Amino acid sequence: MPQVPAARNALRILTLLSLSDAPLSAARIQRELDLPRSSTYHLLRELEASGFVVHLSNPGTYGLGLAAYRMSAAYTTQQPLVRLAAKDLKAIAVFVGGSTHLSRMAGSEVVYLHEARAPKAVSLVTEVGVRLPALSTASGRIMVAHLPEAEVKAVFSASGEQRAYREGKDRLIAARQRGWDEEREEVSRGQETVAVAVLDHLGRPAAALAATFPAGSRDDDQRAEVVGRLSAAARRVAGKFFGGAGTPVRTHLS
């Protein structure tokens, strides 16, 4: 028996709608799932309010909403990216004697979707599922650097960093031009990170690949080697998933 019947039934409704080639009436949903009439309408209203279901007034049926589409689109994008990058990230983690990550933008934050760690590497805060402000991480900044200016401003606004926009803009332009960004002890004490963006066919940031290792443990040439390996991995992922990185959109920061 499900421990949370309401949650279970909400998922059953979404599953039923996803398997139907046309919107369904509340009566049919109730009948198909053998649910009480009142519970069916309560669940549909809640799903509609959260955007997972849309109510079509004519002919009074329900279909999947935009939130359900976004979730399915996120899965379609995220999981293949992780699979394509995992081998390279593991090899780079061993090379640097630290950790590597794949992350994506989630509003004004980055969410970490994959971590590879070398033997005896320290545990970091950037574990899978963790969200951090994009502007506070190398991964987040290199992705923001490839966004159109209007979206960059939105990230600063949502992060409460409007006053830092001018200074931050210059840093983002520099990061985009050289193709990578870095941070030292901004996220984890005693650690530094370099990150590159994976660009989709439109030149937008689909993800970021990053390597984290003890601060000061590598000289400029060695750090350049790490960046080179990350960049090569990003190009391979983009080539396999998007057919090659696209041309960045013309509305970037300048």
pLDDT, one tens digit per residue, over 221-242 is: 999 999 999 999 999 999 998 8
Model confidence over 72-81: pLDDT tens digits?
777 766 788 8
- Is 252 a member of any domain? no
DSSP secondary structure letters along the chain: --SSHHHHHHHHHHHHHHH-SS-EEHHHHHHHHT--HHHHHHHHHHHHHTTSEEEETTTTEEEE-HHHHHHHHHHHHHHHHHHHHHHHHHHHHHHHTSEEEEEEEETTEEEEEEEEE-TTPPP-S--TT-EEEGGGSHHHHHHHTTSBHHHHHHHHHHTT-GGGHHHHHHHHHHHHHHT-EEEESSSSTTEEEEEEEEE-TTS-EEEEEEEEEETTSS-HHHHHHHHHHHHHHHHHHHHHHHSS--PPPTTB--
Model confidence over 139-197: pLDDT tens digits?
999 999 999 999 999 999 988 887 888 888 999 999 999 999 999 989 989 999 999 99
Identify the domain containing residue 124 by its residue range: 74-242
Whether residues 167 and 47 fall in one domain: no
- Is 52 a member of any domain? yes
Q: Are 86 and 95 in contact (CB under 8 A)?
A: no
How high is the pLDDT of residue 190?
Answer: 93
- Is 253 a member of any domain? no
Q: Are 84 and 241 in contact (CB under 8 A)?
A: yes
Last residue of a domain, one of 64, 87, 113: 64
Tally of domains within the chain: 2
Whether residues 41 and 119 fall in one domain: no
Question: Tokens 């080539």 label which residue?
Answer: 239
Instruction: Show the 3-state SS of 75-105.
Output: HHHHHHHHHHHHHHHHHHHHHHCCEEEEEEE
- The number of beta carbons lying within 10 Å of the beta carbon of residue 151 is 14
How high is the pLDDT of residue 47?
Answer: 96
The residue count for the chain: 254
How high is the pLDDT of residue 249?
Answer: 46
How high is the pLDDT of residue 70?
Answer: 78
